[in-house]
Structure 1
Amino acid sequence: MKRIQYILATAILALTFTSCEDFFSESHDSYYETKNLFVDLPHARLAVDGIYQVLSNPNHYGQFEMAMATSDDMYYINGTNSDGNRRDISHYMVTPTNSWVETLWTKKYDGIDRANQVINNIRNMQEYKDGDSEALKYEGEALFLRALLSYDLVRYWGDVPYRTKEVVSVDDAYIGRTDREKIYDQIVNDLDRAKNQLPWAKEGSNSERATQGAARGLLMRVYLQRAGYSLKLNGAYSRPDDAIRQKYFEAVLEEFAEFGKNGFHKLYPQGYLQFWKNFSQDIVDPVESIFEVAFYTPDGKDNGAGTWGTYIGPYNSAKDPKGRANAFFRVLPEWLGYYEESDGRRDVNITHQAVFVSTKNNYDQYWCPAKWRREWMGNNPKDPNNTNTNFVYLRYADVLLMAAEAMNELNRTDEAVDLLNQVRTRAGATALDKGFANFETLYQRKGKWEYFTGKENKSYSYNMAQTFLPTGSNQEKFRVALFWERGFECCFELTRKYDLIRWGILEDAIKMHSTSPQKKGYAAGYNEKNPGNKGNFVHGKHELFPIPLSEISINTKITENNPGY
């Protein structure tokens, strides 16, 4: 069974923190005041758990976060109407009044403010001053969570208001933007400190809590994002110079070397399929899964629940004893052809379903993300929408691919191929030859993928050849291999869109799929109703989200929105 102590702690934590809005309010007996949270280490742990609780909110990583990474070049949210929230995010129709963007903005800052409270107050505890390992661990967890939430802010909004002290009055609640490089500096400082105060995972560890591996893996992700392209407030889309980028790649490999020295984390020995089944079956295993956002609902209600497997996952009828899943997210079917036939990841990651619709007397074709599935969760769910299924934020396969990318950029391509092949071999896919003799066969194929509509056999054409990434040198070919491999391995884990942004090719990758026959109104940001198939995606705008209008209205120190909004 998973996270029993965590559940008990979070049940208390709804009473733990008061918001800035409550600052001038009379205290109630049902609330802990901040000063009472740090009287001893058990209470300090409650405060740390309160930060985790923000991530586990249904309106944060439980559901709303799913929309932010959609419409990369692989999947999108189904439907054609403008809804002011998730569809508009996915269809590149987002505006500063989008309710989901506003909610996520608030959640990030709520979590950071809680982390600031924990960090600043733990440091005043006598146990911390005495060097108590438990006190240092709790600070490390808070530093990790602050870094994670800060990283989200920078990826989504660029330069944002940022502080490392808790908000204690209305007077200091509103500040101007901080340059993202200064925020990145703070993220790196937080993770550098956290990694030295957190233990490595071991057999029986709970990957729902931060560990040294989580801090080091997130550092790798941050360095790669920082080394890549991003949209600046002045409208420039640029990346650091080569000397600075090289230092970031070297830093990635320094963190990766520590994984090797520790030796605990590895690819899940029972295979890719069972790794993903574990999530739907509420099994926490820290071997490959380095950090997870935890969800649990004892009664099926929203508090503590997630929607992994229902809002994202294969379609399941409401009449099915395993529970309903609405298949709200759809995959471009060409991706089924991109995988090798022998690649076991394909049928885990993507399903094709021919679903009979009586009102149409015909079958609808669903291509869906499938890493989380109702069919793996058992019968008689507590709720038709909510699940206990965790979101895996960081896993070892991603660490291997990040290290491979850094090695290639440092002209260590042979070593990079070795790491990539660990991931491919686990999946049953053909290893990439170090001389790249089979590069075209693996990553430049074209052909047809056949499927059954419910009435007849049909096929989709696919063509992996693309013109926006050069393939002259082996280093360039490896970049192409990584372009595909991170899609094959890490799809739907909220990373690919931001890979494409930092590589500077989001627009190119979207255009590559703009003629997909399975658009259903919108696919990868393109609107089939527009003449000439003109896309909604605008380069120099949609690499960032808008600052919510509600924030700009009350914070006079933010004088302009992000480019294009």
Structure 2
Amino acid sequence: MLFMGAISISACTDMLTEKPENTYEKDGYFIREENAEMAVIGTYEGLTEDYNLWGADDIYYSTRVQNDNAKDAIFSYIMTPANQIVNTAWKAKYKTLNRANYTIEGIQGMDGYRNNEILQSYVAEAMFIRAMVSFDLVRMWGDVPYATEYSKSYEATYKPRTDRELIYDRIISDLTFAKQHLAWGTASSSPERATQGAARALLMRVLLQRTGYSLQMDGTLKRPDNDKRQEYFKAIIEEWKAFQEEGKFHGFYEDDANSYEALFKSFSGEILNNKESLFEIAFQYPNRKGSLGSIIGVQVAQAIVSGNEKNNVMGRASVQYRCLPEWGNFYEATDQRREVMVATHVWNWDKEKHTHVKKDISGYAFVGKWRREWMPLGYDELNATDVNFCYIRYAEVVLSAAEAYNELGETAKAWELINRVRDRAKATKLNAGNYNELMKAPQVLNLDFIDDSNEAGKIRTVLYWERAFELACEGVRKYDLIRWGILKEALQLIGSQTSVNTDRNTPFPAGNNFQSGKHELFPIPEDEMQVNYTLNGKNNPGY
């Protein structure tokens, strides 16, 4: 279906003078429900193009610090408008946005749409995807060119910047429609398709980001006034209540032995987890090759085998990114998340035994959430995996609700929700009484940039650590630190403490390179600046 949907959408361009027989014109395509669904599936396909966990945060890093004009430069905060990964991501976002616009317009124009709940649910899925990529555009680039109409030509895409607050309004409108027209997840639903739970969870993430700081075009970090922030926090609580009252199917992954480890083993094992996993971006070789467990994961040497033996060995993991080893000390010893997140072993190839052999390491660590050792043996391509990216899951929903309750003055409720997450991980329950023991040095680093002189401040400090412990390397950490207004401080703190900077010739330079008022946003790509005359040659601050 992904392939067919991709074909149907790619056929939508008006730039060809001759059209093959297997393409469709827009007016002649949206005539049946199955065509509408195929268009939606093609829109999902666009999500796979650039979700490679853009970190550049205080948890994991690239071991290469040169300006490669690609990902390494992003992790080291030395990227320029000529960065090709930034350019690729920009194009992918707009391509998917245009696909979503095309699909929404096409389905809404079908006969009987207003009374057809199935067609309305397809539009809701497309609006969920449009909200996803619109949110990415805002938090990656700030005020950007934006449209919710299908662009039939390149010229039509050349638009001036739209204020991000207006884009946020559209995102919320799309997600409101989505949650109204999508069903809640059930035991038979798939997290690869949007559900009401996915829409509500994404709305909570969007609202939380909107409460915080963002870099403005004048180079300053600003956040909404207190009344607006309170409005957004209250809206987050309403979404949380909906999970409690209507979305009761969703919750933590259930496994008697070790639920947190079992959850991530199931991701690597290509098992769909529709209870905790609210939405996953699907990867499947050969059309959409994944990288989880390969470029990020535990290092695995290439097996020296003949072609007919490859089904009995692990694929290679030439890991490009590592976890800062200090995070292994920040977790409590009883916290099951530590052994999942911070991996201190590799798999070498033993020629004599003709098998992979596990070897413990010291002084450095890998991101262990996705691993070849948890995947079925064998591989279709040596460096690719079929592991889905879990875009958003239930644990984040709980922690987001905890943050909203805290900011509304309901600290007891915030502690309760934080401890729901910690209970699953077998970590000690937190309260004001044991705060100093568990949230201060030597257990973790002292955070001089967060005022913890009152209970609300203590909970903010707890969330700084707890959201990292739970959600590390899942695509949210950098944006948490930005909305809290402390990304530079966090990078410099860990950079001054990590052994990789004292023992390994500074392979984590992010804190030294980061410039406030610049690096909270990506540069608009050089290619876009050259062709989009409506931008008037003005890039994002500092570029």
Q: TM-score, normalised by structure 2?
A: 0.92
Q: Given that residues 312 and 369 in structure 1 are in contact (C-alpha distance below 8 angstroms), is that contact kept between their aligned partners in structure 2?
A: yes
- What is the deviation of 1:80? 2.6
Q: Counterpart of 2:529 in structure 1: which amino acid?
A: I
Q: Given that residues 91 and 522 in structure 1 are in contact (C-alpha distance below 8 angstroms), is that contact kept between their aligned partners in structure 2?
A: no
Aligned pairs for 1:5-404 within 5 A:
9-18=1-10, 22-57=14-49, 60-61=50-51, 65-66=52-53, 68=54, 70-129=55-114, 131-262=115-246, 263-270=248-255, 271-297=259-285, 301=286, 303-319=287-303, 321-353=313-345, 365-404=363-402
Work out the CA distance in 2 between the residues paired with 1:162 and 1:402: 28
The DSSP-based 3-state class of the residue aligned with 2:118 is helix
Q: Given that residues 75 and 331 in structure 1 are in contact (C-alpha distance below 8 angstroms), is that contact kept between their aligned partners in structure 2?
A: yes
Change (3 A) 1:427 1:124: same
Change (3 A) 1:120 1:248: same
- What is the deviation of 1:21? 6.4
Change (3 A) 1:84 1:239: same
Change (3 A) 1:18 1:294: closer
The DSSP-based 3-state class of the residue aligned with 1:484 is helix
The DSSP-based 3-state class of the residue aligned with 1:143 is helix
- What is the deviation of 1:172? 1.8
Change (3 A) 1:99 1:182: same
Change (3 A) 1:80 1:382: same
The DSSP-based 3-state class of the residue aligned with 1:291 is strand
Work out the CA distance in 1 between the residues paired with 2:31 and 2:478: 44
Q: Counterpart of 2:393 in structure 1: which amino acid?
A: R
Change (3 A) 1:170 1:311: closer
Equivalent of 1:553 in 518, 527, 530: 530
1:171-205, CA deviations, whole angstroms, 9 ceiling, x for partnerless residues? 42211000000000000011111100000001111
Change (3 A) 1:212 1:363: closer
The DSSP-based 3-state class of the residue aligned with 1:564 is coil
Work out the CA distance in 2 between the residues paired with 1:336 and 1:117: 47
Q: Counterpart of 2:445 in structure 1: which amino acid?
A: M
| 1:423 corresponds to 2:421 | yes
Work out the CA distance in 1 between the residues paired with 2:437 and 2:529: 51
Equivalent of 2:468 in 487, 501, 505: 487
Identity of aligned residues (%): 42
Aligned pairs for 1:426-445 within 5 A:
426-433=424-431, 436-445=432-441
Change (3 A) 1:12 1:344: same
Work out the CA distance in 2 between the residues paired with 1:98 and 1:204: 42
The DSSP-based 3-state class of the residue aligned with 1:518 is helix
Work out the CA distance in 2 between the residues paired with 1:231 and 1:355: 43
Aligned pairs for 1:494-509 within 5 A:
494-509=475-490
- What is the deviation of 1:39? 1.1
Kindly tell me the number of residue pairs found equivalent between the two proteins: 518
Q: Given that residues 54 and 107 in structure 1 are in contact (C-alpha distance below 8 angstroms), is that contact kept between their aligned partners in structure 2?
A: yes
Work out the CA distance in 2 between the residues paired with 1:341 and 1:216: 34
The DSSP-based 3-state class of the residue aligned with 1:557 is helix
Q: Given that residues 71 and 523 in structure 1 are in contact (C-alpha distance below 8 angstroms), is that contact kept between their aligned partners in structure 2?
A: no
- What is the deviation of 1:169? 3.0
Corresponding residue of 1:466 = 447
Change (3 A) 1:170 1:325: closer
Q: Counterpart of 1:122 in structure 2: which amino acid?
A: I
Q: Counterpart of 1:344 in structure 2: which amino acid?
A: Q
1:56-79, CA deviations, whole angstroms, 9 ceiling, x for partnerless residues? 23xx22xxx32x3x2211111111
Work out the CA distance in 2 between the residues paired with 1:20 and 1:269: 44
Structure 1 residues without counterparts, runs of 5 or longer:
1-8, 448-462, 527-533
Work out the CA distance in 2 between the residues paired with 1:90 and 1:373: 22
Q: Given that residues 297 and 367 in structure 2 are in contact (C-alpha distance below 8 angstroms), is that contact kept between their aligned partners in structure 1?
A: yes
Change (3 A) 1:464 1:170: closer
Work out the CA distance in 2 between the residues paired with 1:53 and 1:393: 14
Q: Given that residues 341 and 367 in structure 2 are in contact (C-alpha distance below 8 angstroms), is that contact kept between their aligned partners in structure 1?
A: yes
Work out the CA distance in 2 between the residues paired with 1:484 and 1:55: 29
1:255-284, CA deviations, whole angstroms, 9 ceiling, x for partnerless residues? 111000121111111111111111111100
Larger mean CA deviation between 213-222 and 74-83 belongs to 74-83
Equivalent of 1:518 in 485, 497, 500: 500
- What is the deviation of 1:10? 1.2
Work out the CA distance in 1 between the residues paired with 2:42 and 2:212: 33
Work out the CA distance in 2 between the residues paired with 1:117 and 1:522: 48
Work out the CA distance in 2 between the residues paired with 1:393 and 1:136: 24
- What is the deviation of 1:27? 1.1
- What is the deviation of 1:126? 1.6
Work out the CA distance in 2 between the residues paired with 1:472 and 1:169: 56
Work out the CA distance in 2 between the residues paired with 1:244 and 1:504: 17
Compute the RMSD of aligned alpha carbons: 1.9
